[in-house]
Structure 1
Amino acid sequence: MRADRLLSVLLLLQNRGRMTAPELAAELEVSVRTVYRDIEALGASGVPVCADRGPAGGYRLMDGYRTRLTGLTDAEAGALFLAGVPGPARELGLGAVLTTAQQKLQAVLPAERAERARRIQDRFHLDAPAWFRDADPVGWLAPVAQAVWEQRVLRAHYRRWAGEVHRELHPLGLVLKGGIWYLVARADQAVRTYRISRFLAVDLTEEVFERPAGFELAAYWAEASRRLEAALHQGVARLRISPQAQRLLPVQFGAVGARALESAGPPDHEGWVQVEMPVEAPEVAVGDLLRLGTEAEVLGPPALREAIARAVSVLAQRYATTTS
């Protein structure tokens, strides 16, 4: 374990530059005292670790020193091949680059590990888009990705639900969610999310911008997703669902349906259970819940139950008419 940790210290200093003992300790999840011992052990083994004192001090590698050692384990090498999703890489214009990088990695791996990596590619395939839905058109993805990478201002013509707008964007990151690409960008001093397929035109300018200090893409996306879910779910439906619907709920409603099942009451003599599930606005919730067909009954709130009853009545009248 200590050898792995020493390698981690070495690679952290090589990749990030100067780091303090507390920063290293937090990254490695060890005590500061352990970091001191590890730094001493690296120095004793011939690694030129320099200690800079003062408020801006910390540990760093001697200028010009780099190690070729990767220390990849079997699992780590395999994970690199598994992480290379060919579809998204191709959409970003990096398909050939990804293939070349994997070939180079295979060339330097020991024969046994290279063979294991090949088996992972043969036996695991990551397909990002959801079932029964065509992938979004991503004609503007490549220049948007270039703007993200080079921190260049993007002038965009964008289609919203309320109409078309022109925006000057500071692109901060790209997110692939359920097969759909999103751009996270700052506009008018606020960070917002834009669906790539809704860009009608983009102009990649030569102007560069500074990223907001402390901005973290993953943290922003997690918070934005939470806010979106809270905004969409405007009420809670109380349902009585059959065993078949209990199997369908996570499939049709995802994590929301799965969480609803976790709080289900005891089954009755027919195996039906009662659950409470967040739903969107009534007009949306009616269509969503009708997808469960006769395998579910809406018990409340009363307004939603009445809306479902009206929709079912209209359907009954419509299908009662014989067509030629």
Structure 2
Amino acid sequence: MRADRLVSLVLLLRQHGRMSAPALAEELEVSTRTVLRDIEALSAAGVPVYAERGRHGGFALLPGFRTELTGLNHDEALALLTAGSQRGERAFGLSSALASAMRKVVDALPESHRATVGDAAQRLLVEPESDLLSRRTVTEEIPAATMAELRRAVLTGHKLRIHYAATDQEPRRRTVDPIGLVTVRGRGYLLATRSGEDRTYRLSRIEAAEALAEPAERPGRVDLDRIWRDRTARFLADGHITVLVRVDPARREDLLDGSLTVRAEEPVDDGWLRLEVTYQDLRHAVWALWQLGMDAEALAPPSLREALRERAARVAERYGDSTKAGPRPVQERLPAFEVSGD
């Protein structure tokens, strides 16, 4: 770990020219004291790093210093591969590895390309924390030690012991055969089997994890995307409600944000869209479509149309006489999309 940090420190100085100890500490996610010790270690090893004092001072390398430091380690290569297909830089505890790997990639570029690549990177933004409506992306925080054990068990193919708190249950220990890790809209899941049965666990509900020495019982090759689709389909078929709805195209994204999944979509003659979407239950569907007001209409099932009609009638009655006022009902809350393991 320290060797990788020393390499990253040298690469940071090569790419930035001069950096203060606090700035280096922030980049490397260590304390300032650790940075100072690392600087001393580099100097002792013959790396020409020197200190510049003053308000704009810091540490720098002698001009022209270069050495081959760009070999990627396992986690860095994994971080690049994962980030290339998904938002892996924020998933599975690989953010530090990705930052280190990208520094090595930049350092391996010819001198003439570094400036243009750096400028290009500043002009591309992928998946910011909030959208144009100021809705922030919620990313679950998983303890680093727990995430490291989960990754280790999944990648090495060993059984995994987890301390898991299912919905409305006390935490219990389970030993599972891990298949893979999935992240969806900032939420992480462990796909596994337990006694031969499929299990899906929310990472945020795993309080502790330990990779065991015993090999896991699982196939050597896996199509994780297909497995996730199959499990999602089974989940959605279990007691959920499918709704046919027409919506103003300007509110399409709002409709999708409130639903679990979209099964079909087509334009209609009046310029609106007709979609087949899934909700957790009737209450969830009423809540979600009520938020869209006159910009959406539930076409089926009849039970949903009746529930919305009754709700609209109650609201109209409440506001029919402006001279009467009473306590307002507590706002209904959208149930969270949960997948519990057992």
**TM > 0.5 fold call:** yes
Structure 2 gap segments, 5+ residues each: 1-79, 328-342
Structure 1 position 308 matched with structure 2 position 308:
yes
CA distance in 1, matches of 2:82, 2:225: 20
C-alpha contact (below 8 Å) 2:240/2:278 kept by paired residues? yes
Question: Cα gap change, 1:236/1:128 in structure 2, threshold over 3 Å: closer, same or farther?
Answer: same
Backbone CA RMSD of aligned residues:
3.6
* Structure 1 residue corresponding to 2:192, chosen from 182, 185, 188: 185
Normalising by structure 2, report the TM-score: 0.57
Q: CA deviation at 1:259?
A: 7.1
SS in 1 for 2:142: coil
1:225 to 224, 232, 251: 232
Shift in Å at residue 89 of structure 1? 3.8
Question: Is the CA contact 1:85–1:127 (under 8 Å) kept in the aligned structure 2?
Answer: no
- Secondary structure in structure 2 of the residue aligned to 1:214: coil
Look up the SS of the partner of 2:165 in the other structure: strand
Q: Give 1:246's match in structure 2, choosing from 239, 245, 249.
A: 249
Q: Structure 1 residues 138 and 257 mapped into 2: Cα distance closer, same or farther (>3 Å)?
A: closer
Does 1:132 pair with 2:131?
A: no
Q: Indicate conservation of the 8 Å contact 2:262/2:278, yes or no.
A: no
Instruction: Give the whole-Å Cα distance in 1 for the aligned partners of 2:244 and 2:86.
Output: 40
The answer to whether the 8 A contact 1:238-1:301 is kept is no
Tell me which amino acid in the other structure corresponds to 2:161: R
Residues 158 and 167 in structure 1, CA contact (< 8 A), matched pair in contact too: yes
Task: Work out whether residues 249 and 258 of structure 1, in 8 Å CA contact, stay in contact via their aligned partners in 2.
Answer: no
* 1:13-92 pair list within 5 angstroms: 83=83, 88-89=88-89, 92=92
C-alpha distance in structure 2 between counterparts of 1:101 and 1:82, whole Å? 12
Q: Distance in 2 between matches of 1:274 and 1:126?
A: 28
Contact 1:174/1:184 (<8 A) preserved: yes
Q: Structure 1 residues 171, 295: CA separation in 2 closer, same or farther (over 3 Å shift)?
A: same
Partner SS state of residue 267, structure 2: coil
The alignment status of 1:141 with 2:147, answered yes or no, reads: yes
Once residues 259 and 209 of structure 1 are traced to their aligned partners in structure 2, the CA distance between those partners, rounded to angstroms, is: 35
More helix by percentage: 1
Describe the superposition over 1:177-230 as per-residue Cα deviations: whole angstroms up to 9, x where unpaired: 111111112212133321101123333433332542332223322333344445
1:236 and 2:235 aligned: no
Give unmatched runs, 5+ long, in structure 1: 1-79
Aligned length: 236
- Structure 2 partner of 1:37: none
* Aligned residue identity for 2:167: W
In 2, Cα distance between the equivalents of 1:318 and 1:122? 53
Q: CA deviation at 1:317?
A: 4.6
Q: 1:300 to 1:92 in 2, by over 3 A?
A: closer
1:155 aligns with 2:155: no
Relative distance call for 1:277 and 1:232 in structure 2 (3 A) is farther
Identify which range, 185-194 or 199-208, moves more after superposition: 199-208
Out of 250, 255, 266, the residue aligned to residue 263 of structure 1 is 266
* Aligned equivalent of 1:322, options 310, 322, 325: 325
Cα distance between partner residues in 2 of 1:82 and 1:208: 24
Secondary structure at 2:227 match in 1: helix
CA spacing shift, 1:101–1:169, aligned 2, 3 Å: same
- Structure 1 residues 126-185: Cα deviation after superposition (integer angstroms, max 9, x where no partner): 337673353223223232223223333222222323524432112222112111111112
Distance 1:279 1:294 in 2: 20
CA–CA distance in 2 between the matches of 1:85 and 1:127?
13
State the shift of 1:257 in Å.
8.5
Q: CA distance change for structure 1 residues 145 and 316 in 2, over 3 Å: closer, same or farther?
A: farther
- Say if 2:191 and 2:200, in contact at 8 Å, map to a contact too: yes
Superposed CA offset, 1:228-250 (max 9, x none): 445575333244x4xxx321123
Instruction: Using the TM superposition, give the Cα deviation of residue 111 of structure 1 relative to its aligned residue in structure 2, in angstroms.
Output: 3.1
Secondary structure at the residue paired with 2:222? coil
Match of 1:123, as an amino acid? R
Which of 206, 221, 245 does residue 213 from structure 2 map onto?
Answer: 206
1:111 — aligned with what? 111
Aligned residue number for residue 298 of structure 2:
298
Shift of the 116–147 alpha-carbon distance from structure 1 to 2, 3 Å rule, reads farther
CA–CA distance in 1 between the matches of 2:188 and 2:84? Answer: 16
Give secondary structure in 2 for the equivalent of 1:160: coil
